[in-house]
Amino acid sequence: MAKKKPLILVSNDDGITSRGIRKLVELMKTLGEVIVVAPDSPQSGMGHAITIGDTLRLDTDDIFGDVKAYKCSGTPADCVKIGKHYILKDIRPDLVVSGINHGSNTSISVLYSGTMSAAIEAAMEGLPAIGFSLCDYSQEADFSHVDEFILKIAKQALEKGIPKGVALNVNIPPKRNEAIKGIKMCRQANAKWQEEFDLRHDPYGRQYFWMAGNFVNFDKGEDNDEWAIANNYISIVPCQYDLTAHHALPILNDEWDF
């Protein structure tokens, strides 16, 4: 008897028409049966937002040919929720993948990332999940070097599993003259965005702000995702949705008086 193909749910935050999700769908088709639930428009930087004060619309889309696909008016987290609880109902996907994001989601960016929020939403549902990002923000980014690595990581997840409640944050260096050196398990780098707010005026004289700034890396270690990307390695950071600062509990219990 032939072994049943794994069921893979694909989502993203750049929208259902992005080049990154098309590449991811093509790759996942070689591993199993694919269902796509993705935003109908770009949702970058939405983090783990969900739609609670507006309508949520869902329509089928034949953009991927023979792959069943749905476009959703909501956020990446909405897409995974509606995919699991409405479209798939009682069918449990074997893997949830999100991406391929146009741009880095290393370090602190994981908190803002719609790509990773889709993966983390899946992990919250007890599903093995991976978010893939290419560290190239160009809409003409070259995805030609990602195939073997994404397939290798996805196969490992399907065959060996991912710890429960964990989503893997995978960042891939941009296409360079030298080949990617390999894959490293990493921690999240100690880095942050240093924002600047540019005060401007519209044609009616009303002021508004444009947020800009720079990414500042404080981390000198060689075991973090920023180091890996800078040195042409793919980084994998295991992420969890439990944000409890466990190390702070005994300090607060000992030093605070109630």
Q: What is the pLDDT of residues 72-112, one digit of tens each?
A: 999 999 999 999 999 999 899 999 999 999 999 999 999 99
Cβ-proximal residues to 156 (8 Å cutoff; 6+ apart), any chain = none
Q: Which residue in the block uniquely carries the two structure tokens 């069943």?
A: 68
CA atoms within 13 A on the CB side of 223: 1
**Residue 1 clears pLDDT 60, i.e. is over it:** no
Q: What is the pLDDT of residues 27-83, one digit of tens each?
A: 999 999 999 999 999 998 889 999 999 999 999 999 999 999 999 999 999 999 999
**Residue 147 clears pLDDT 50, i.e. is over it:** yes
- In three-state secondary structure terms, 237 is strand
Say what the pLDDT of residue 24 is: 98
**Residue 210 clears pLDDT 50, i.e. is over it:** yes
Say what the pLDDT of residue 258 is: 86
Percentage of the chain exceeding pLDDT 90 = 92
Q: How far apart are CA 96 and CA 82, in angstroms?
A: 13
**Residue 219 clears pLDDT 80, i.e. is over it:** yes
Say what the pLDDT of residue 3 is: 66
Which of the residue ranges 37-41, 67-71, 139-143, 231-235 would you say has the lowest mean pLDDT? 139-143
**Once rounded to an integer, what is the mean pLDDT over residues 151-174?**
97
**Residue 25 clears pLDDT 50, i.e. is over it:** yes
Annotated binding site for a divalent metal cation: 13-14, 44, 101
β-bridge mates for residue 85, sequence order: none
Helix residue ranges per DSSP H, 161-204: none
- Locate the domains of the chain by residue range: 7-188+222-242
Within a 10 A sphere around the Cβ of 57, how many other Cβ atoms? 11
First to last CA, the chain: 65
149 close to 156: Cβ distance less than 8 angstroms: no
Confidence of residue 122 (pLDDT cuts 50, 70, 90): very high
CATH superfamily of 7-188+222-242: Survival protein SurE-like phosphatase/nucleotidase (3.40.1210.10)
Confidence of residue 139 (pLDDT cuts 50, 70, 90): confident
**Residue 227 clears pLDDT 60, i.e. is over it:** yes
Say what the pLDDT of residue 205 is: 96
Model confidence, pTM: 0.94
What does the mean pLDDT of the chain come to?
Answer: 95
Annotated binding site: 13-14, 44, 101
